[in-house]
Amino acid sequence: MALLESALVAIEQGTPLFIFNHTVRTGYLLARLMKFQHETDPSRHDELKRALFEDDKRKLYDLADDMPSKVLQAAYNFPITYNPNSVFVIDPLRERNPDKLLDKISNVISSVYDSVPELGGTMAENRMFSQAIVMERQLAVLMRNEVFTANLLKAIMIILTFVTTAIACLIEQIRNEAGEDKSLPLLSILTIVLPILLGICATCFASFSPVSRSAMFTLVHARLTQEMYKYRCRVGDYRARSGLGPAHRVAFSNRLKAMWDDIMNSEVMKGSLDIDSKIHPESSVHLKQDNDNKNMFPALRKKPKPGLFELHPLTSEQYIKERLETMLEKFRKEIPSLSRYIRVLQVGAIIASSAGALLAVYDFQLWMPTLLSFVTVLESITEYNKLPLKLRTMNITYSKLKQVMFWWSGLTLIQQRMPQNKFRLVSTVEALLYDQISILLEGDLESKDDVGFDEEGEDAEKTPPTSGSSSSNKTQSATKSASAPPK
């Protein structure tokens, strides 16, 4: 009887408990209790009573008179603090795979790091994370709009510059062939109008600052994505703690407020932050996002109640599949295509430069400015999009993420369940991904104070940095942390 009471207390407190089915007394009763808890069939009540009070069962498993009543009372008053990960019913007649059995045992042992469920915390978690999803979608729309505006203005400026040079060369060619007194009213008007349009576009590009605005939204979006994954994985300041209380939720809420304050205090407030209502979860679940953000959180499921998303914390294995492997596959596809794109632009510039000799040989010197303008267009595309820097940062990030995967694969099942190793995994991956974006956009912000994120506090365990930065030093520190084995 004392053993049964101790086991019920362990279930209530979330203490790891191993139950051997088909054993006499306590083992049999606890196995029936857990089966009753996990089933949803309405007939489970009658089945539990038969298993506890039938004479043949009582004789077979040597049940005392008061033990079945105690278990029945526990079944009808099951503790709300029950942690399903802390209890494992072992069936000696069915467990044949030692690897799977070891994995299940390590899961139960690692449940000591889980916090006691907070009363009413599930609804608060879903409500708060729904606001984070809305903020992430809003930033994605703002970022996409600013990138489109910047690319459109830059493309118009490049085209106008090239067309203006070509028209000037054409006018000079026609006048040389037909005489200096040749009247070209339409082309002459274009040589006046096109520079004016070019000046208007250049003024709009400088006044609206779409590049710095898009850089700001991109960095905040990357930071928010980083914090959302850390929160879902319960690492850093969001790690599971013993006892009740919404400390992790308060920390996440403060981070969201700090990010929005950074937007409010930056240059982006000169424009509009109004977003179409379709980004809100109560009006639409299926948001058409750009490729970088597509299916960013596939584990989130829409709940029947409007306006709320159901939050599911991520295990280490789920995080690797949803985040790390997804980013590795993304880099694996984008790096070769980006490399080919850069080479095409470089080869085009080389061929165009070499073609100048042919123009000189065949007496087309008047078209030399047009050819040089074409070379400038190709170089402008490369410089504006920072293609060499982007390729280099993607290669470095991809190699470091592979190192993280190699390090994680070398850990035993028990080591992979340790919270300090999970923290190292998540913080290193998120720091590398954030640094890859921040280094690429470092020169696009109007001032370094545009993004004033506070650094996260140190975790109890000695682990890599938990937050990304826009400097290469933090990239190097995250890289060392990824390749270093756990202490």
What pLDDT digit, counting tens, does each position of 422-469 carry?
999 999 999 999 999 999 888 766 544 444 444 443 343 434 433 333
Contacts of 369 (CB under 8 A, 6+ apart): 165, 168, 169
Give residue 471's pLDDT: 39
pLDDT in the model for residue 436: 92
Contacts of 23 (CB under 8 A, 6+ apart): none
* pLDDT at residue 240 in the model: 58
Which class for 20: exposed (0-12), middle (13-18), buried (19 or more C-beta within 10 A)? Answer: middle
Torsions phi, psi of 283, nearest 5? Answer: -100, -30
- 3-state SS assignment for residue 17: strand
Q: With DSSP H G I counted as helix, E B as strand and the rest as coil, what are the percentages for the chain, rounded to 5? A: 70, 0, 30
Scanning 362-386, the segments in alpha helix (DSSP H) are 368-384
Closest CA to 147 of 214, 221, 236: 214
- DSSP code of 77? T
Intervals of the chain under pLDDT 50? 119, 242-244, 276-308, 447-487
> Can you state the angle between helices 368-384 and 121-178, rounded to 10 degrees?
170
Beta strand pairing status for 309-310 and 301-302? antiparallel
pLDDT at 113: 56
The vertex-390 CA angle with 388 and 394, nearest 5°, equals: 120
Confidence at residue 98, expressed as pLDDT on a 0 to 100 scale: 74
The pTM for the full model equals 0.67
Q: Any bridge partners for residue 310, and if so which?
A: 301
d(CA 81, CA 315): 20
DSSP structural state of residue 303:
-
Q: State the alpha helices, DSSP H only, in 362-418.
A: 368-384, 387-409, 413-417
Q: How far apart are CA 210 and CA 192, in angstroms?
A: 27
- Nearest Cα to Cα of residue 129 among 305, 324, 307, 306: 307
Taking each helix axis from N to C end, the angle separating 67-76 and 44-53, rounded to the nearest 10 degrees, works out to: 160
Using alpha carbons, list the distances in angstroms from residue 6 to 63, 243, 325, 487: 17, 20, 43, 35
Short-list 106, 111, 117, 115, CA closest to 86: 111
Q: Please list, in sequence order, all residues whose beta carbon lies within 8 angstroms of the beta carbon of residue 213, skipping any fewer than 6 positions away.
A: 146, 267, 268, 271
